[in-house]
Amino acid sequence: MNLTLKVLPQGRSIQVRKNTVLIEALHEAGVDLISFCNKQGLCGKCFVEIMKGKRPEPGAQEKWLLARKRLPGNFRLACLYRMTGDLTVRIPEEATLPLMPVLKRGFRRIIQPNPAVRKIVFAPFRPDLASPLSLSDQVRAHFPSPGKKASPALLKDLAILLDDSYGTVTAVIYDGAEILDFEAADTAEQNFGIAIDLGTTTLVAELVNLNTGKTIDVVTALNGQARFGADVISRITAVFQDPLKSEALRTAVLDSLNTMIEGMLKKHRIPAHRVYEAVIAGNTAMNHLFLGSPVKTLAVSPYHAVFSALSPLPASETGLLMNPRGKVYVAPNIRSFVGGDIAAGLTAIDLAHQKGDYLFIDLGTNGEIVLKKGRQFTATSTAAGPAFEGMNISCGMLAVPGAVYKAEYDDGLKVMTIANRPALGICGTGLIDLVSLFLERGVISPQGHIKGPEKKIGVGPNLFLSQKDIREVQLAAAAVKTGIRLLLSLDKLAVADLDGIYVAGAFGNYLNIPNSMRLGLLPRLDKKKIIFVGNSSLAGAKALLVSRQERARCERLAQKIRHVSLATDAAFQKTFIEALEFRAWK
Amino acid sequence: MNLTLKVLPQGRSIQVRKNTVLIEALHEAGVDLISFCNKQGLCGKCFVEIMKGKRPEPGAQEKWLLARKRLPGNFRLACLYRMTGDLTVRIPEEATLPLMPVLKRGFRRIIQPNPAVRKIVFAPFRPDLASPLSLSDQVRAHFPSPGKKASPALLKDLAILLDDSYGTVTAVIYDGAEILDFEAADTAEQNFGIAIDLGTTTLVAELVNLNTGKTIDVVTALNGQARFGADVISRITAVFQDPLKSEALRTAVLDSLNTMIEGMLKKHRIPAHRVYEAVIAGNTAMNHLFLGSPVKTLAVSPYHAVFSALSPLPASETGLLMNPRGKVYVAPNIRSFVGGDIAAGLTAIDLAHQKGDYLFIDLGTNGEIVLKKGRQFTATSTAAGPAFEGMNISCGMLAVPGAVYKAEYDDGLKVMTIANRPALGICGTGLIDLVSLFLERGVISPQGHIKGPEKKIGVGPNLFLSQKDIREVQLAAAAVKTGIRLLLSLDKLAVADLDGIYVAGAFGNYLNIPNSMRLGLLPRLDKKKIIFVGNSSLAGAKALLVSRQERARCERLAQKIRHVSLATDAAFQKTFIEALEFRAWK
């Protein structure tokens, strides 16, 4: 016998079989009711208002959960309600899943938060003489699967929390399978995580509310490892030659990250122990150095990694400033020199689910390039160097307030700075604009020579480009160009065949397309097909932080991507030398 | 179509369906071939000799495994052999499961070793440029399920182990789900564990070969916590009054255990890092104190525990002298004052699978009593004090060489000492014999008074019993007697209804039955029905150490046992006072 379920405020009616659990019927009808406890009547998130229909008496636990939210008597938990007659329910907005936009600029994609870290409030009962249940038995009864693994250290803390009062406590559950911690009182709303873009030159950390997926703050800083070498190769070599340096490099980046995190947490008055998960998206070498893993095998042929994918680690093993019982998830490396940052970035733009042939270019200290042809992915990595991040350039700086990020020629050279501050230096996009303008106006030759006797081009007060700076841009652009050419030729595709080019990097959407094309950094393609996705590594890290589904997709993708090494390609040297000349693609 | 499989040396023939995997057919035929890798062709343990029938070419991995054992060409791994024609195989003795007797004295039971810790040898291949697989991918390909969880710390060690050589390594697998460690070369034969009887007064540690279940050594020592109080209550109270003492008590017992373990390992030249698991069987309070868990809730009514059952803990969290990456399994506590030692003991004698009504009495510092009526178990605990272990007695000592363990009267008092050494003191069984003899001969009254003016009874040179010693025995016996009486009356059983009484304790089988009955310590029952099982807690710990099946059985049993608290029984006081008199049961 079918029953009618009417859902307000939408007003839709659906047919439901008798004895169906309400939450199942609603999920089937496309209403995304929240459930943190896997529909077990524990979390109290899926409350709905019964407008018309039976209202059976709630049990003790349900009553307690509804009372905590001060809900009137016609509210019930949808996971504990079985349909026995026609029903009209109203869905409160707070009971449905929030939506989170990925990559706000350039590319929009919406995902639903489904974080690995869940907080569930519960009230242990005081044992009595007739039934002196142990605390561990109580925990196990409440959380059947994760409760089984509660450690003595955790139970000890719970015993101390409860002591004589037996008040409300909050359990922090990980992936439905593990209890990470217990907290005094109801802290369900305080569930925070940190997404980290672990760049070779630049670090970005984003503080996120895990329940809603909302960003609280974002900070950028230089990677403290820079003093051991500007690029991946020089840092790996430093450790290879002196393995004791491994710990020095590890603590250098850790110190940078912890300073960033500390600043954000202080500003928003969030205690570090309320942060239970961090996601790291970095290239393979950065991930290895962050965890203090040996990098010897990355330094010598055949360049293999110690790890690609890892299970989430105990935070205490990483030293990150967060709850030491929390977890750190490292986005899966694809192969030796195409890392978790790319896997995360591809997940952020959901490239696997788009039809057609696409290039994905991530411009950082490494230039990673992924070509998607139909359903096949091929990735490679080129050593672009840190020029695009404003490093190794006489007046270079990160893309932070005061950096020249844009330049035009109109009656004379005009430069724009981030936040309109007085110019302090030149960041990556400004550099590309300047070199392109100087090339157009004949100040430098296509071979990169500065014409005239000065060998230095003035840009503003105390700002200039040297001959060495031009060379750095030339080498970086040539590396990327070569990578693109080789991948296209490997898959027998022409630029014109592409349905689009995704451009990612710290650049954001400030990169000037005509200028980039003039230097040959980007192939010539209809401007509409060039899609700037900004820092896709960070956006991906955030997607992995707030959604278990995105994590699973990312892991699947990382396993299927084919990797080619440019170093082994016979055509590399020749293509690279040709690419050194500043020239638009034919 | 059925095929014929003939099994030598037994000579049995069985019918097998085509395409059956040989190991499955053999298991069905009752041949217990070993498999450490869950029949995945990884461990090389299930080798058999093909006497007649097809001998397909082995694959690379199989070839490698067979070559390591230097087996001739007609040997094959039974888990990789599919039956396609009639077959005659010979089963080498080394390929079948060894058997392990439980509780050699008094009670025989045979179990098959199936330890949680398994060692599997493998040879990682050297990555090449065409396929630069990461180490973690190699591990995952080799060990699909546990490999997924290999931590960076573990992978780091593996990378260092392999370095340039890519030789053989041994993976230590736990419960088929986790890789604990990697060791250089083939260490499969070196797989050790320690079973520990964590007594209030006496500690016993047994070093075991986990592959064979064979005991290598056993040592006994006093629990270093004794200086904080002779019994459980006084130690709990000490911590309750000063929580900082928790750490002092924890390290006291840890220090005792580590000294014992160190001695055994040194003697047998086994490095501590080859010990990957320890099983602890202790009463609830001892388990809590060993782990530094709060005991406040055990000190006050309603006397509930912080934990009953626990998942295996990382050894590093316990401080035991063994591989810090190993595991410590704590036998599940039944309830506040009936602990894992009893759950282990009941598992050792497999009481759950015996028909009839039985009493189980464990005589230690606590006297635990379990009554099995049909399929129902009821347990209680009495505070016997350490007299039965020779403590709190003027000339008392543990049951070690030199202790008077037996006494007779025949032309005068005759005492026997353990190992025939000169008498140093009196242990528990000796004490019971002496008190019983003195009672029989009228030297002491049934009320426990020493007759005559001396208030001291000489036993030998420098050996005597004081009035206080007699009182200790009186209190200990009365506590046990009362527990037995109340359990029987609760279940409406008479002594004569019992099918047997299991008597466990450090006593072993030295306890003199008529003497014990004369004091009323044991009820009067046909001597044949009294079964001494010795240290069943230790035997149980060993069973749990070497067999995952026994562990599962023990956990099920611990959950089903009902617990009654004597303290809440109105009849306790009255029964106890009556029981103080030395008198045989009616």
Q: CATH number of the domain that B274 lies in?
A: 3.30.420.480
Question: Do B170 and B244 fall within a single domain?
Answer: no
Determine if the peptide bond prior to A302 is cis (ω within 30°). Answer: yes
Q: What is the 3-state secondary structure (H, E, C) of B318-331?
A: CCCCCCCCCEEEEC
Question: Do A170 and A292 fall within a single domain?
Answer: no
pLDDT for the residue numbered A221: 85
The pair of structure tokens assigned to A101 is 């936009």
Q: Per-residue pLDDT tens for B443-472?
A: 999 999 999 888 889 998 889 999 999 999
Rounded to two decimals, the ipTM of the complex is 0.74
Question: Do B174 and B200 fall within a single domain?
Answer: no
Which range is least confidently modeled, A374-378, B42-46, B244-248, B548-552? B42-46
pLDDT-based confidence at residue B283 (cuts at 50, 70, 90): very high
Last residue of a domain, one of A66, A95, A124: A95
- The 3-state DSSP class for residue A453 equals coil
- State the Cα–Cα distance between residues A322 and A192, nearest whole angstrom: 10
In this structure, are residues B449 and B427 in contact, taking their beta carbons and an 8 Å threshold? no
Question: Do B333 and B215 fall within a single domain?
Answer: yes
More confidently predicted of A192 and A39: A192
pLDDT-based confidence at residue A541 (cuts at 50, 70, 90): very high
B418: in domain:
no
Which range is least confidently modeled, A411-420, A473-482, B89-98, B441-450? B89-98
Extract the runs of DSSP E, i.e. beta strands, from B493-543.
Answer: 500-505, 530-534
- Does residue B102 have a pLDDT over 60? no
Mean pLDDT, chain B, integer: 88
pLDDT for the residue numbered B104: 45
- The 3-state DSSP class for residue A500 equals strand
pLDDT for the residue numbered A487: 93
Residue found under tokens 């293509």: A575
State the average pLDDT over residues B434-440.
95
Contact A152 B317 (CB under 8 A): yes
| Cβ-based neighbour number of residue A243 at 10 Å | 12
Q: Looking at beta carbons, which residues of chain B come within 8 Å of A135? A: 297, 304-307
Range of the domain at A67: 2-95
Structural domain tally of chain A? 3
- State the Cα–Cα distance between residues A404 and A398, nearest whole angstrom: 10
Residue found under tokens 């009267």: B409
Nearest-Cα residue of chain B relative to residue A246: B156
pLDDT for the residue numbered A104: 45
B286: in domain:
yes
- Does residue A105 have a pLDDT over 70? no
State the average pLDDT over residues A114-132.
85
Contact A151 B317 (CB under 8 A): yes
Contact B293 A136 (CB under 8 A): no
Percent of chain B with pLDDT over 90: 50
What is the helix, strand, coil percentage profile of chain A, to 5? 35, 25, 40
pLDDT-based confidence at residue B162 (cuts at 50, 70, 90): confident
Report the largest interatomic distance among the alpha carbons of chain B, rounded to a whole angstrom. 97
In this structure, are residues B385 and B231 in contact, taking their beta carbons and an 8 Å threshold? yes
A-interface mutation test, from B134, B297, B330, most A Cβ less than 10 A away: B134
pLDDT for the residue numbered A509: 59
More confidently predicted of A478 and B133: A478
Q: Using CB atoms, which residue from A296, A302, A308 is nearest to B128? A: A302
Last residue of a domain, one of A266, A299, A330: A330
More confidently predicted of A100 and A234: A234
Q: Using CB atoms, which residue from B129, B153, B311 is nearest to A317? A: B153
Ranges A80-84, B34-38, B339-343, most confident: B339-343
- Does residue B570 have a pLDDT over 80? no
Determine if the peptide bond prior to B314 is cis (ω within 30°). Answer: no
Last residue of a domain, one of B325, B340, B355: B340
CA distance B578 to chain A (A): 26
pLDDT for the residue numbered A300: 81
pLDDT-based confidence at residue B508 (cuts at 50, 70, 90): low
Cβ burial of B385 (10 Å; 0-12, 13-18, 19+) is: buried
Question: Do A282 and A209 fall within a single domain?
Answer: yes
Extract the runs of DSSP E, i.e. beta strands, from A342-420.
Answer: 358-363, 367-373, 376-382, 403-409, 413-417
DSSP state of B66: H
- The 3-state DSSP class for residue A9 equals coil
CA distance B362 to chain A (A): 22
CATH of the domain at A85: 3.10.20.30
Q: Using CB atoms, which residue from B136, B158, B310 is nearest to A136? A: B310
- Does residue A396 have a pLDDT over 70? yes
Tell me, yes or no, if B453 comes closer than 8 A to chain A by beta carbon.
no
Phi then psi for residue A88, to 5 deg, are -120, 125
Question: Do B142 and B267 fall within a single domain?
Answer: no
- Does residue B568 have a pLDDT over 90? no
pLDDT for the residue numbered A102: 52
Tell me, yes or no, if A304 comes closer than 8 A to chain B by beta carbon.
yes
- State the Cα–Cα distance between residues B304 and B310, nearest whole angstrom: 16
Tell me, yes or no, if A331 comes closer than 8 A to chain B by beta carbon.
no
Q: Per-residue pLDDT tens for B181-219?
A: 999 999 999 999 999 999 988 899 999 999 999 999 998
pLDDT for the residue numbered B26: 87
Mean pLDDT, chain A, integer: 88
Backbone angle region of B53, left / alpha / beta, with phi > 0 → left and psi within -120 to 50 → alpha: left
Question: Do B262 and B219 fall within a single domain?
Answer: yes
Cβ burial of A233 (10 Å; 0-12, 13-18, 19+) is: middle
Question: Do A39 and A91 fall within a single domain?
Answer: yes
B332: in domain:
yes
Question: Do B81 and B168 fall within a single domain?
Answer: no
Residue found under tokens 């690029």: A231
B198: in domain:
yes
Tell me, yes or no, if B127 comes closer than 8 A to chain A by beta carbon.
yes
pLDDT for the residue numbered B421: 82
Helices (H) and strands (E) in chain A, counts: 16, 27
Tell me, yes or no, if B570 comes closer than 8 A to chain A by beta carbon.
no
Find, among B440, B444, B451, B388, the residue nearest to B409 by Cα.
Answer: B440
A-interface mutation test, from B155, B182, B293, B304, most A Cβ less than 10 A away: B304
Contact B313 A151 (CB under 8 A): yes
Tell me, yes or no, if A12 comes closer than 8 A to chain B by beta carbon.
no
A-interface mutation test, from B133, B306, B334, B572, most A Cβ less than 10 A away: B306
pLDDT-based confidence at residue B441 (cuts at 50, 70, 90): very high
A504: in domain:
no
In this structure, are residues A285 and A236 in contact, taking their beta carbons and an 8 Å threshold? yes
A339: in domain:
no
Q: Using CB atoms, which residue from B150, B294, B302 is nearest to A132? A: B302
In this structure, are residues A54 and A117 in contact, taking their beta carbons and an 8 Å threshold? no
Tell me, yes or no, if A144 comes closer than 8 A to chain B by beta carbon.
no
- Does residue A208 have a pLDDT over 90? yes
Pairing outcome for strands B215-222 and B202-209: antiparallel
End-to-end CA distance of chain B: 69
pLDDT-based confidence at residue B125 (cuts at 50, 70, 90): confident
Question: Do B336 and B198 fall within a single domain?
Answer: yes
Question: Do B81 and B28 fall within a single domain?
Answer: yes
DSSP state of B419: G
The pair of structure tokens assigned to A357 is 């042939």
Q: In what order do the strands lie in the sheet with A87-90?
A: A12-17, A2-8, A87-90, A47-52, A75-77
Cβ burial of A107 (10 Å; 0-12, 13-18, 19+) is: buried
More confidently predicted of B228 and B129: B228
- State the Cα–Cα distance between residues A386 and A234, nearest whole angstrom: 12
Percent of chain A with pLDDT over 70: 96
pLDDT-based confidence at residue B13 (cuts at 50, 70, 90): confident
- The 3-state DSSP class for residue A546 equals helix
B510: in domain:
no
CA distance A164 to chain B (A): 9
> Which uninterrupted H or E stretch holds A583?
none
End-to-end CA distance of chain A: 69
Find, among A527, A479, A487, A519, the residue nearest to A503 by Cα.
Answer: A527
Find, among B195, B222, B198, the residue nearest to B206 by Cα.
Answer: B195
- The 3-state DSSP class for residue A444 equals strand
Question: Do A206 and A174 fall within a single domain?
Answer: no
B-interface mutation test, from A131, A284, A306, A564, most B Cβ less than 10 A away: A306
Nearest-Cα residue of chain B relative to residue A562: B131
A472: in domain:
no
pTM, two decimal places: 0.81
